[in-house]
Amino acid sequence: MTSGRAYNLQFNRQADYAAFMACVGFKTKLCKPRHPFTKGKVERLIRFVKDNFLAGRTFDNVTQLNASALEWCAAQGSRYRKAIDCIPLEEHAASCAQRAALPAMTDELSMYLCPQRKVSFDGFVSYEGRRFGVPYWYSGQACRVNRDGAYLHIYSDDMSRELAVHEVTWSRRDSFCEGQYSDGQPEELPTAPVTTVIAQLEPPVSDEGFAKFDFERGL
């Protein structure tokens, strides 16, 4: 579930997500942001995670953050909840897990699990606020990315070829792939067409500075 009018306009153009909804069989309802009447459970869950998991914790890298989050979720799910009079993990195992089934790996599901990214002119794709290198010969095209644990896999747009594999860290520095610029260095092109024209003027026939000394002029 998501929120926001601005995102509503963008949501209508997410063809991959629409195909995934049709494949799995669910619907997404858009709600107003920070609106407890329509999405109180969602907003309360976000606040619970911020106040009870993130507060007072430090992490060396994003992989450690994800591992700690999974441990925290397992611990919270194993606690007795008075509001629902049960232990969530036990209730899930008894009621939901038995009916759950893995969806078929269709083309729509594969494309959703590997979102599309645009390769920049210098051979990088953005993912989770970081830039990861792609071989320069593939620059300026669309690609697909998929994170598996501590590693990010980058594929061609049709998923027929793996272009690069990167270890995901907490560093904000660009991550280069092996042989990224083996076929040449990037060259940034102007963002607007060049309209300035330079021309060389012919020198004047006479020097106007000495015209006042031409006493025969005008006779």
Q: How far apart are CA 155 and CA 165, in angstroms?
A: 9
Instruction: Check residue 132 and give its pLDDT.
Output: 95
Domain boundaries, the chain: 5-96, 114-167
CB 100 within 8 A of CB 187: no
Task: Please write the tens of the pLDDT for every residue from 49-102.
Answer: 888 898 888 887 777 888 899 999 999 999 998 888 899 888 888 888 777 777
Which spans in 131-171 are helix H? none
Distances (CA, A) of 177 to 5, 48, 136, 150: 39, 39, 10, 16
**Band (151; pLDDT cuts 50, 70, 90):** very high
CB 190 within 8 A of CB 172: no
Lowest mean pLDDT among 46-60, 93-107, 148-162: 93-107
